[in-house]
Amino acid sequence: MQKKHLLLAIIVTLIWGVNFPITKLGLHGIDPFLLTGIRFALAAFPLVMFIRRPAVKFRYVAAYGLIFGLGMWGVINYGIQVGVSPGIASLVIQLSVFFTMGWGALLFNEKLRRAQWLGASIALLGLAGIISTRQGGHAMLGMLLIVFSAVAWSVGNVIIKQSGTREIFSFLVWASLFPAIPLFLVAWLMHGNAPFENLQHSLDLTSTLSILFQVCLATHFAYWGWNSLLRLYPVSTVAPLSLLIPVFGISSSMLILGEQVSTLDRAAIVTIIFGLAVGLYRKVPASFTAAASMKDA
């Protein structure tokens, strides 16, 4: 990978990692589903008025928008509000890698390698360790919500693959049209008019900057950068770089929010990251190595 592209990958994973504590700051006083709805409404407007609709079946755009906005980010934000720390959330969501592999085997007849099975087993062991340290029903519910959001992310990946879209940025902007109203509806069903009535008082400088970060950097820029890398390099080259997300997520949560990580959690975190690394590792083909050696010679 060229240095400029590696730098882009590091910047993207840094943004996604920092997005977790930044989102936590935005959740102070704002309902998580309302906050997520605002994020996707602003991700769609006004860009949707100037960007041509992606040349794919519109049901893919709508389905991805609902899964990505409501099923993934709405649920993540709710899980953080009910007790999961942003750093741990940034780690657990990476389990979507293995769910995506499972969908690939089930729907596209992709063969899973031994390393993938081993990596998934190790990562699940680490997840069990984190779950065992959670105290209280709210914390357990929060963990289950983050795992559910990881499944939703994997389903979103399947939708992207099935759609065959090449216009990733346009696809994302148009898909952002669909989750806002359902997210607002969930907020109303859970808490009535209160979240909307309190929004004006809760929308201070911190929450406003948090929303702008989520829209402009975590959504528009980061997804453009990541999908640009996927077009230039094999998935097996780009995917392992996602391991930087929980590294940045946990460290930034400690710096920004003063998040404390227990010894048991640290051991579980290392176990999950190791499992992800094992599952994503792919040996360089011998023919490629030989060709590279001849080129260097």
Give per-residue pLDDT as tens, 231-242. Answer: 777 665 676 677
Residue 57 has φ and ψ, to the nearest 5°, of -60, 135
Asked whether residue 13 is assigned to any structural domain, the reply reads yes
Query: Residue 290: inside a domain, yes or no?
Result: no
Number of separate domains in the chain: 1
pLDDT at 294 over 50: no
Residue 198 CA to its chain's centroid (Å):
28
Determine the average pLDDT of the residues in 277-293: 50
Structure tokens at 199: 């929004």
CB 72 within 8 A of CB 78: no
Using pLDDT thresholds of 50, 70 and 90, give the confidence band for residue 289: very low
For residue 79, give both structure tokens: 């899980």
Q: Is position 88 within any domain?
A: yes
Q: Before 46, cis peptide (omega within 30)?
A: yes
Residue 261 in contact with residue 250, Cβ under 8 Å? Answer: yes
pTM exceeding 0.95: no
The residue count of the chain comes to 297
Structural domain contains residue 84 = yes
The first and second tokens of residue 201, run together, are 């008082």
Within a domain: residue 297?
Answer: no
Top-confidence residue, 34 or 130: 34
What mean pLDDT is predicted for residues 93-111?
A: 78
Residue span of the structural domain in which 72 resides: 3-282
Inside any domain, residue 295: no
In a domain, 296, yes or no: no
Three-state secondary-structure class, residue 27:
coil
128 located within any domain: yes
Question: By percentage, how much of the chain surpasses pLDDT 90?
Answer: 44
